Amino acid sequence: MQSALTGCGTALVTPFLDNGSIDIDSYRTLVRLQCEANVDFLVPCGAAGEELSLSSSEYQEIIQSTVEESAGRCPVVASICESGTDKACVKARQAFSRGADALLVVSPPYLRPTQEGIYRHFKAIAESTPLGIVLYDAPGRTATHILPRTILRLAELPSIIGIKDASGNLIDSATLAFHAPDAFSVLSGQDCLTLPLMAVGARGAISVAANVAPRQIAAAIKLSLINNQDRAREIYRKMWPVLTEIASEVNPLPIKCALSLMGLIGEYYRLPLLPLPEAKRGRLRQALITCGLLDSDSECKQFNKGPEQHADY
């Protein structure tokens, strides 16, 4: 995939069993439900998918399972998080071999490279794979912000097709949206900032919240793309309690807790991640109920409704 991405991409979680192994059956169910909810693309093995806790074989299994289960209904954008450029290139080749359509590559964490080092990192990965690359700027996780001038320079490379912008810097985000080439997509990386970013020209989002509310998030983004901001804002207003609770703690803790409350996965993590404290768990459960995603008796509502019951979205 060398064309720009638009719409709603879901940053998929990786479910585990109580023995720490991957719950591949639940994962495939999540992929199927996302496709049925009409999201635009899928993003496995990102921060929400706990990529850094996965072995090489597990990483490849998750990507291949996403490709197989989506069966061409949604493009698969495999995530890569590596500090070393050579290791990132290896993962790029693995993702390609397992059928990924594009890559989401985070700026190198921990090492805090210069802007020139960041540029050369992404350029080397682009030269190692035929897949299109979405940059990922997440300074809260990497300790380095990719500056607009570096992003716009990278956007000149044909295979650099967009950026997941989780910088939280709306001035830099607007600069990118105003000056990036047409073939380059700015995508929101923070659910609570998706609509503000789309107002200045972002073309969609890579959403954590879409794990639990795919129809609503996808619909709001589609509405925003056709400049129906009032309706998009109304959907986000209704979903706001869930969006803010999910953002209240580092993911994947809140989103895996939410999916567990909805009965879709078990709430298991690999160290050093631990479950949410009980108080936050209670607030998240109430938010799911308030937003109509969960009955008060803890029955999942989001994925039990037929298409006709989602006419508002």
* Catalytic positions: 136, 164
Quote the CA–CA distance of 209 and 225 in Å, as a whole number: 19
- The DSSP bridge pattern shows strands 185-188 and 204-207 to be parallel
Nearest residue to 23 via CA among 34, 35, 38, 12: 12
Quote the CA–CA distance of 116 and 120 in Å, as a whole number: 6
Nearest residue to 85 via CA among 51, 119, 61: 119
Q: How far is CA 117 from the centre of its chain?
A: 25
Give 178: exposed, middle or buried? Use CB within 10 Å, 0-12, 13-18, 19+.
exposed
Residue with tokens 């716009």: 152
Quote the CA–CA distance of 214 and 212 in Å, as a whole number: 6
Tokens standing for residue 157: 């490379």
